[in-house]
Structure 1
Amino acid sequence: MAYLFKLPDVGEGLTEADILTWYVKEGDVIKADDPLVEIQNDKSTMEIPSPVSGKVVKILVPDGIAQVDEGIIEIDTGEEEAVSESAPKEQEVLPEKEITEISRSSASSRVRALPSVRRYARQCNVDLAAVTPTGPKNKVLKTDIDAYLAGNTGAIVENSAEEALIESEPTVYPSVVHDRSDEGDWTEKMTPLRKATAKAMVTSRTEIPHVTVFDKLRSEKLVAHRAMYKEFAKHENIKLTYLPYVVKALVAMLKAYPVLNASVNMEKAEIIHHRSINIGIATNTDHGLFVPVIKHADRKSVFEIAEEISILSEKAMANKLTYEEMSGSSATITNIGGLPGAGGIWSTPIINYPESMIMGIARISDEVVVNAEREMEVASIMRLSFAFDHRLIDGVEAQKALAAFKKALEDPNLMLLKN
């Protein structure tokens, strides 16, 4: 009797996941709780163990997206009674004739790689099985594909007739360019992460009436403070950037204006005031946008925040953030000037629903200003884009809150004494 293992519901309202890596192959004998498959949903990457012991008969979804409650693997347990007793209620035991026949997965599909990397390989006509992996747990990275292309060795994958040829620059996330010999459109299936991001953006813009205020702050004291303690932090194995200071300034702002550390429930006509100050940090990666959270930021020092940002950033880049590490934020910071030479000094950032605000910061740069004596001088300026929920806070109060943020960040010594 065949045991059909379905993709389990891991919670958080997720309905599908991307099959990343199978740890077993057809014909393998496995035990209950052995690692079975690695999946990626719109929150994190996780490893799913086998619920039963037996022999792998068929892998029904070798690669790509599977729906929750969709059968993904067939396991022969050998004993019908044992199966019926050990099988979770949501799983089904099906006769052989009801199992859909599929082909075995290709060598390329068994290679450990993120969906974005697989797509990049297809665009570059590269067989993943021919690429030497350097990522964690022998995952193939985009840089591995670039290195393979630079070496010009190995096999090339034949594209199907329906696939358009894509031109891309090595080491750069490829833009979609259709084959110049075919003027037709090129389509691509959204990944679970991209779909979740799109839904979140639409929900935020639909549910929250955004207002964005732009301002500048002089950052000479901030620059000097970081320069003074940067080497000391380095000796403590801490990378001290400006971002931890921004987190502490936002804490000062939320303490002064706690209405911003809240969210709205329109169905119940309630305002939910959050006791904890948890700051989300929007982090861009090759595989999507993530928002890891600094929990209880008001209780942590600049150095502690800096260390936590580094750890969470590394996990985001490796696609290893957990759901817990990305949940519970009450306000978010986004760096709109994080790429040198990429431009961008203002933005209208979208609030991370259901929060009430988001603070956008740009790179510090020199700018000519007029001082109190009406003389021109060069100053270090940071530009701010502050978006808030107009249901919770009015324009005047928002301006005062932004002024409190500026006051804190402009003078780190005073901020750290008071905060």
Structure 2
Amino acid sequence: MRDHEPHPGPVGHRLSTKEAAELLGVKPETVYAYVSRGQLSSRRVPGGRGSTFDAKEVEALARRNRRESSGTSGSGGELSVRTRLTLIDTDRYYFRGVDATELAARHSYEEVAEWLWTGQLRPGATFTAPEAAVAAARRAVDALPEHTAPADRLRVAAIAAAASDPLRFDLSEEAVLGTARSLIPTLVAALPLARHDHRDSGPLAQRLWARLSVRTADKASLRALDRALALLVDHDLAASTLAVRVAASARAHAYAAVSAGLGVIEGPLHGAAGGLAHKLLLEVLDQGDAAPVIADELRAGRRIPGLGHRLYSGEDPRARALFDLLEDIPRAEPALAAARDIVATTARHAPLHANVDLALGVLTASSGMPATASETIFAVARTAGWIAHALEEYGERPLRMRPSGHYVGPRPPQPLPE
């Protein structure tokens, strides 16, 4: 189902139920079914028993139905949703109109998150986790098997935090922002520590580092991790973000909406891609040459992780922004060289550029982190964007994210199966 900009139209330019049904080519009962599914809005007739409908909204639905009946959606089969958050345009991307890479270069992850949520900067913003929520989340996460994937740990932590919050069903902007500022540090605090001598305080990047690496973080490394988090806050309507908006459209609370996003990123084509790039880099470092490694990947019929992006014809701007910082970290040089070798080797046959997964792989591989660390970084970072999208969706009419199925099965009536 596509979303359309509202058209105010002339005052009183509304249709009766009968007129709307005639324009749509359906029965009056079906018009009210569209209303119940959130595909149309209605307004009661003052002093009467009927309803009226915005003429242009009905016309838009009629056009959409005609496209669906012909098997097309009018835009390459893709859903389109209004948003004021992120614009991707000509190999650059913007948060609320501001260049996202410049924003991430000048502000912390927490400050960028605040900008995305409210359109205002809060210098020095920090997120604090409530003790009760952290205790509940840690108990739940500690009960999981040792080999549990990061997204599963985070999803369990989010559910436990939700259960400890009696106000979770308050969907007002103020309440959801309060949830956002407490949920993100709770997710981090619930993860097992890699270094047990760590004091759980300071910027979020510092707290997260202690859960990803046994090494002591220097300032340059923490700056790189914080930059990665800020760059990954949002990226338009990625698959996980769409899941979050669908949940929010049904008025699921913020914890549940975030859980929906966490469920999607486990796929190898989304949140797990950075881990695949991490492993590829280690293999190139082990062999000393990207050529045989790339050959083996292609022979096995696999895509080369960390290369190409459907939204950018050139290099992913997030990758360049992160590479720039990593070049200032001496221990990252071998992994950076391996990344350059991968890009150069593949470029002989395909004009693919580095994406943010390759840059994340360099960060994690050179910092003594496991391959799954990039998935954790991605999930924690994107939680802020998911909540921003949930906030937007709470301001829309409910259940609008309800596309109509285009049935292509056997036409009824069919005989009962024997």
| TM-score of the pair, normalised by structure 1 | 0.23
The structure where helix makes up a greater share of residues is 2
The structure where strand makes up a greater share of residues is 1
Higher relative contact order (CA 8 A, sep 6+): 2
